[in-house]
Amino acid sequence: MQPRYVFGALLLGVGWLLWGAMGPSATPPARTISWGEFVVQSGTVLEEDLVQFGGRVLVEPGAEVRGRVYVFQGTFILQGRVRGDMAVLGGRVTIGPTGQVTGTLTHYGGRLQVAAGARVGNLQQPPGLNRGADRYSALERLLNAVWQGLQILVKGLALGVLGFVLAFKGQPYLERTRRALEAQPVLAWAVGVSGLLLLVLLAVFLFVTVVGAFLAIGIALFLQIMTYAAYLVLGYGLAAVLGQRWPQPWPLPVWVALGTTLTVWGLDLVGTLGCLGWMVKWSFVAAGVGALWLSRFGTLQPLSSDRRLPTADR
């Protein structure tokens, strides 16, 4: 069996498991919250599933949500009642003293705080997935920071190795993409931001529908691949700068590996610095993605810029 068929079967299997475990039902329809503040006021009954990807949701005392609730990111405060099941996969969820979940509350990840007096029909916390995340100690925060740092370290080294391998056969494609980014950086950034935003919105829309669930998972994987490809493009560009300023008798793959690793480490560390850092990181990533699309993944000849990587001719 060819590798692409194995990967396709694996993707369908994972998508089916995820959809069966936490996919919103077709009836009632789902309401998606991505930003801003959404309030279910006292005395109001919401007949829909509620899917939260960001922002702030408040269910006031006396209010009721009769559908299922899924929290991926953002802040969710429950002071009323949720009649269906509730799944917490990220963000921060607080269930006040008057809060009530009549179904099953599954805590996969994120921060969950249940006040004294709150009523939960059945609380499930799969082992190893953020148990007691609402009670972080100083040691736990330190270990979490160390773990995050190790992830960045390994990610940088892994993509550096990928850049090293890609430089043997894919150097012309990387060079054309770098030139497209150098020639039109603003256009590349605009194309990248627009394209990524549209894909994210499309994935969110498809995720809350039964028919488009598998397509949403495919879009999410495509976005991840585009992110890694953007790191490689930016890393190649950094290698060009380093190779010109500090010329060394190193072969091209070594320069690309070094540039990619430093790019991943730098952008991911900046991305941990709150909202501004996150915006800076994804601005660079968006520019790399836009350059990929403008150059059609390095298959188009550049219109300008003749600068080459110093080690390319060695």
Asked whether residue 275 is assigned to any structural domain, the reply reads: yes
Position 149 scores a pLDDT of 85
Say whether the peptide bond before residue 127 is cis (omega within 30 degrees of 0): no
pLDDT class for 164, splitting at 50, 70, 90?
A: very high
Q: Domain check: are 158 and 288 in the same one?
A: yes
Position 28 scores a pLDDT of 47
Position 4 scores a pLDDT of 39
Quickly count: other Cβ atoms within 10 Å of residue 255's Cβ.
26
Q: Domain check: are 224 and 174 in the same one?
A: yes
pLDDT class for 30, splitting at 50, 70, 90?
A: confident
Q: Domain check: are 118 and 32 in the same one?
A: yes
Asked whether residue 295 is assigned to any structural domain, the reply reads: yes
CA distance 2 to 120: 48
Higher pLDDT, 89 or 19: 89
pLDDT class for 302, splitting at 50, 70, 90?
A: low
pLDDT of residue 245 exceeding 50: yes
Model confidence over 251-281: pLDDT tens digits?
888 999 999 999 999 998 888 886 678 888 9
Asked whether residue 246 is assigned to any structural domain, the reply reads: yes
CA distance 59 to 98: 10
For residues 115-126, average pLDDT = 83
pLDDT of residue 45 exceeding 80: yes
Q: Which of 65, 96, 124 represents a domain boundary (last residue)?
A: 124
Position 95 scores a pLDDT of 92
Asked whether residue 12 is assigned to any structural domain, the reply reads: no
Q: Domain check: are 83 and 187 in the same one?
A: no
pTM: 0.57
Position 99 scores a pLDDT of 92
pLDDT of residue 222 exceeding 60: yes
CB-based contact 218:199 (threshold 8 Å): no
Q: Domain check: are 146 and 260 in the same one?
A: yes
Q: Domain check: are 148 and 246 in the same one?
A: yes
Position 264 scores a pLDDT of 92
pLDDT of residue 308 exceeding 60: no
**pLDDT-above-90 percentage for the chain:** 25
Q: Domain check: are 108 and 146 in the same one?
A: no
Q: Domain check: are 279 and 164 in the same one?
A: yes
Maximum distance among all alpha carbons in the chain?
Answer: 74
Asked whether residue 294 is assigned to any structural domain, the reply reads: yes
Q: Which of 68, 92, 124 represents a domain boundary (last residue)?
A: 124
Reduce the DSSP state of residue 35 to 3 states and report it: coil
Length of the chain: 314
Asked whether residue 1 is assigned to any structural domain, the reply reads: no
Asked whether residue 219 is assigned to any structural domain, the reply reads: yes
Tokens encoding 122 = 């059945």
Check the CA dihedral 121-127-129-132 and report its sign: positive
pLDDT of residue 304 exceeding 80: no
Q: Domain check: are 146 and 90 in the same one?
A: no
CA distance 266 to 129: 28
Q: What is the mean pLDDT of the chain?
A: 79
What is the identity of the amino acid at 245? R
CA distance 125 to 102: 16
Q: Which of 21-35, 204-218, 280-294 has the lowest mean pLDDT?
A: 21-35
Phi-psi region of 124 (alpha: psi -120 to 50; beta: other; left: phi over 0): beta
Check the CA dihedral 206-208-211-217 and report its sign: positive
Position 132 scores a pLDDT of 47
Position 48 scores a pLDDT of 86
CA distance 196 to 290: 9
Q: Which of 70, 102, 124 represents a domain boundary (last residue)?
A: 124
Position 249 scores a pLDDT of 85
Q: Domain check: are 69 and 99 in the same one?
A: yes
> Which phi and psi angles does 119 have, rounded to 5°?
-115, 125
Asked whether residue 14 is assigned to any structural domain, the reply reads: no
Q: Domain check: are 101 and 180 in the same one?
A: no
Q: Domain check: are 106 and 199 in the same one?
A: no
Highest mean pLDDT among 197-201, 287-291, 294-298, 308-312: 287-291
How many domains is the chain partitioned into structurally? 2
**pLDDT-above-70 percentage for the chain:** 78
For residues 301-312, average pLDDT = 49
pLDDT of residue 170 exceeding 60: yes
- Residue by residue, what is the 3-state secondary structure of 274-300? HHHHHHHHHHHHHHHHHHHHHCCCCCC
Range of 222's domain? 138-313
